[in-house]
Amino acid sequence: MIDVESLSFSYVSELTGDRVEALHGVDVSARPGTLTLVCGSSGCGKSTLMRALTGLVPQMTPGEIEGVVRIDGRDLAEVPLTEVGHLCSSVFQNPRTQFFCDTVAEELAFCGENYGRDRETLIESSERAAELMGITHLMDRKLSTLSGGQLQKVALACALSSGAPVLLADEPTSNLDPDAIAEVRRALVLLKEQGMTIIVVEHRLHFLRGLADQVLLMEDGSVTRRWSGEEFYSMSEAERRSLGLRTLVDPGPPEAWVCSRDSRDEASARGSVGLSCRDLSFSYGNTPVFEGFDADFPVGRITCIAGENGVGKTTLVRVLCGLAAPSSGTITLDGQTTSRRQRRAACALVMQDTGRQLFSDTLAGELTIGASQASGEAGEKLLADFDLAHLGDRHPLSLSGGQKQRLVIAAARATGRRIVILDEPTSGIDARHLDSITATLRRIANEGAAVIVVTHDGEFASACADQLITLTPTGTKRAREGEPQ
């Protein structure tokens, strides 16, 4: 059981020195056996609310707090952090930030080991959580070798194995493919049936249809709208878009994301050859990741690459932009074989974990690291295009996940490079900014770049893709042409 009454929280940012009014008069009540969905635009306070529900606010994030947060009748302000884990388990937006061990099996047992549980209990709870989340085959794998989606599933399995009565999930499907999202949904259904109290913060909303009992909309640190699950998922399309929310309808499997085009239209729509791959393969030692990959990425077009978690999409991106060498095959640029160094010079990359490529102490400075021309008015305009102008003097690491994502995409655009590659660019992105990113990628393509996007986001791919390629361990499963956008 969760009861939040009149919760307000503000703090002084250590990075900027500014006071941040994060939460204002928030009230939340959630009962055992229910699921509460919290939605809202990037930076509206959803993650801060989740931190308050885990006791991290204010115990690890000092500030001024008013109101009360109770879990199972206990005031979290009076519960030591060492005991909060008995009350609630968490899945963070970036799963890498909550791991401590080397392998999946060790990580699943970590929480129980810290609480002194016996070996038999540890093994039983770990194996049950792994089976529930479909990661039994990963138990002996090193966490450092897993894809982003696989890491997210491991983080959820760790939360399940803890045995806490409350589950707090901050965008648990942000990096998952459609099949994995269905697995998460099945796990949440089971946990509800077992009487767990579940709160999920999400931009991706469709998978909770028929599962969410109540839905809260947050704006500027406050809960401004409340619906029952049935009321929320029956709202009109016009109302959904006016609230800045993502689609409430399942976009389906990848083959449904891009509409086919008549063959007579394909030649006229196809751009000139940009980056091309023939019989491309990659292996880690004797372990193949993908084999026989053939694809063309024309300039002036947006190509989306889909595929199951762990199939090698991020590894393919590293090969395409010259960060890794293929085991075999050829890569050409404008019909000429290219070296890794040449590809690195020609490509701008937006990584899946954007925090790994933020280096400056201001947003404005971040734009000029790889593009000196993006200073002054040009940089201000670029930040405005991504709704970041009001944050220009903020430290990049003080931004929300969605804001970081938009900043790195803006920096990639500033480089003006001919090949722009994005790995899951809509992770943590709300509807309004998804539309903005779609328009920006179209603009980059129209300016003469080949845009390559790795994504599990069917809503995004349907809006922007000119062609869709599905990667499998044995190469290219299908390549579909889309309607001109």
- Can you give the pLDDT at residue 478? 52
Average pLDDT of the segment spanning 410-418 = 90
- Can you give the pLDDT at residue 417? 92
Identify whether the C-beta of residue 101 lies closer than 8 Å to the C-beta of residue 143: yes
H-helix segments, 66-215: 81-84, 104-114, 119-133, 148-161, 178-193
More confident residue, 91 or 15: 91
H or E segment to which residue 379 belongs: helix 376-385
Q: What is the pLDDT of residues 270-299, one digit of tens each?
A: 457 789 999 999 998 888 999 999 999 999
- Domains annotated for the chain, with CATH where assigned, are 2-243 (3.40.50.300), 254-258+269-470 (3.40.50.300)
- Can you give the pLDDT at residue 265? 42
Identify whether the C-beta of residue 69 lies closer than 8 Å to the C-beta of residue 29: no
Average pLDDT of the segment spanning 126-137 = 90
Whether pTM > 0.85 for this model: the answer is no
Is the pLDDT at 482 greater than 70, yes or no?
A: no
Q: What is the percent of the chain with per-residue pLDDT over 90, rounded to a whole number? A: 56
What span, in angstroms and rounded, lies between the C-alpha atoms of 75 and 51? 14
Q: What is the pLDDT of residues 74-125, one digit of tens each?
A: 999 889 988 998 999 998 777 888 899 999 999 999 999 988 999 999 999 9
Q: Per mean pLDDT, which range of 35-44, 50-59, 87-96 is the poorest? A: 87-96
More confident residue, 400 or 284: 284
Nearest to 307 by CA among 465, 184, 147: 147
- Can you give the pLDDT at residue 269? 46
Instruction: Report residue 316: phi and psi, to 5°.
Output: -60, -45
Mean pLDDT of the chain: 88
Label residue 475 by pLDDT band (50, 70, 90). Answer: low
Q: Per mean pLDDT, which range of 49-58, 93-102, 462-471 is the poorest? A: 93-102
- Can you give the pLDDT at residue 140? 95
- Can you give the pLDDT at residue 319? 96
Average pLDDT of the segment spanning 390-403 = 80
Nearest to 396 by CA among 418, 411, 413: 411
Label residue 64 by pLDDT band (50, 70, 90). Answer: very high
Average pLDDT of the segment spanning 36-59 = 92
Sheet of 467-472, strand order: 347-350, 419-423, 450-454, 302-306, 467-472, 475-481
- Can you give the pLDDT at residue 232? 98
Identify whether the C-beta of residue 249 lies closer than 8 Å to the C-beta of residue 232: no
Label residue 480 by pLDDT band (50, 70, 90). Answer: low
Q: What is the pLDDT of residues 230-264, one digit of tens each?
A: 999 999 999 999 999 999 999 998 888 986 544 33
Q: What is the pLDDT of residues 428-437, one digit of tens each?
A: 788 988 998 8
Is the pLDDT at 484 greater than 60, yes or no?
A: no
Average pLDDT of the segment spanning 33-55 = 93
